[in-house]
């Protein structure tokens, strides 16, 4: 059984019509961001200082300022980097059949679960929640703008392609996305944030994604739809 713990940190495999979004970072910048994520997971918000990151990533503070600006810029880069792990559909390769559409939705669901339930994303979310009542409320805004909203924008583009192809029917793409998101995530994310390890360790990413997508396709099936999309 493929669990969330098994998939976290894996590379982008399969999904010929899906591409990873490198968010415009260089290979070296991505390496530094990965180090920053490790510091955040291992030591929390207080461990993520410019000095500590420069030492751990074997680079100068000047390089960090050049690449990311201030600490808020670094956090924005981290969030963007995490959001880019939810693979996107190449505009030139949007699904052209119902089967491709179903497969693209399942890929999105698997990536979303993998990213949101990873140790790094959970650490980022916990930091943002703590910052809301602290001195850096802007951190939450960064997570919303660079993370949650960018992922939603990509997913809505996929849903609109499905609507145009006649594979699903809805009036409001935002409402349809909220339904899809709810079916995929449910209370898994909040339980993981609260430390419920069983919620993650016992989860089959692939199985949960297939079930969520099957439910979504049933709810939004167009009138007179043909045979059910294989899930």
Residue 135 confidence (pLDDT): 54
Average pLDDT over residues 92-115: 88
User: What percent of the chain is modeled with pLDDT above 70?
Assistant: 77
Q: Which of 10-14, 19-23, 186-190 shows the lowest mean pLDDT across its residues? A: 10-14
Residue 128 has pLDDT above 80, yes or no: no
Give the Å distances, CA to CA, from 204 to 6, 10, 18, 125, 191. Answer: 9, 15, 21, 22, 16
Instruction: Quickly count: other Cβ atoms within 10 Å of residue 180's Cβ.
Output: 27
Burial class (CB in 10 A: 0-12, 13-18, 19+), 173: middle
Average pLDDT over residues 31-41: 89
Residue 113 confidence (pLDDT): 93
Q: Which CATH class is domain 16-219?
A: mainly alpha
Domain boundaries, the chain: 16-219
Residue 1 has pLDDT above 60, yes or no: no
Residue 136 confidence (pLDDT): 53
Average pLDDT over residues 133-147: 63
Q: Which residue has the higher pLDDT, 156 or 75?
A: 156
Residue 90 confidence (pLDDT): 63
Residue 127 confidence (pLDDT): 76
pLDDT band at 80 (very low <50, low <70, confident <90, very high): confident
Please state, in angstroms and rounded to a whole number, the distance separating the CA atoms of residues 28 and 199: 34
Residue 4 confidence (pLDDT): 38
Average pLDDT over residues 115-132: 79
Average pLDDT over residues 27-49: 86
Sign of CA pseudo-dihedral 18, 116, 150, 181: positive
Whole-structure pTM value: 0.73
């Amino acid at each position: 059984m493929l669990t969330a713990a098994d998939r976290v940190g894996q590379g982008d495999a399969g999904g010929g019509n899906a591409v990873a979004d490198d968010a415009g970072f260089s290979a070296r910048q991505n390496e530094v961001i990965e180090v920053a994520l490790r510091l955040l997971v291992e030591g929390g918000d207080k461990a993520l200082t410019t000095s500590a990151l420069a030492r751990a990533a074997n680079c100068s503070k000047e390089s960090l300022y050049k690449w990311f600006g201030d600490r808020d810029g670094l956090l924005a880069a981290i969030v963007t980097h995490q959001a880019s792990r939810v693979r996107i559909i190449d505009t030139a390769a949007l699904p052209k059949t119902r089967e491709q559409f179903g497969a693209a939705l399942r890929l999105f669901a698997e990536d979303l679960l993998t990213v949101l339930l990873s140790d790094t994303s959970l650490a980022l979310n916990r930091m943002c929640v703590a910052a809301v009542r602290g001195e850096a409320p802007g951190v939450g805004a960064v997570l919303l703008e660079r993370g949650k909203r960018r992922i939603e924008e990509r997913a809505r583009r996929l849903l609109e392609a499905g609507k145009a192809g006649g594979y699903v029917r809805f009036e409001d793409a935002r409402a349809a996305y909220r339904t899809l998101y709810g079916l995929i995530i449910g209370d898994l994310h909040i339980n993981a944030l609260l430390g419920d390890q069983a919620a993650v360790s016992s989860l089959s990413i692939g199985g949960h994604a297939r079930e969520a997508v099957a439910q979504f396709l049933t709810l939004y099936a167009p009138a007179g739809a043909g045979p059910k999309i294989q899930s």
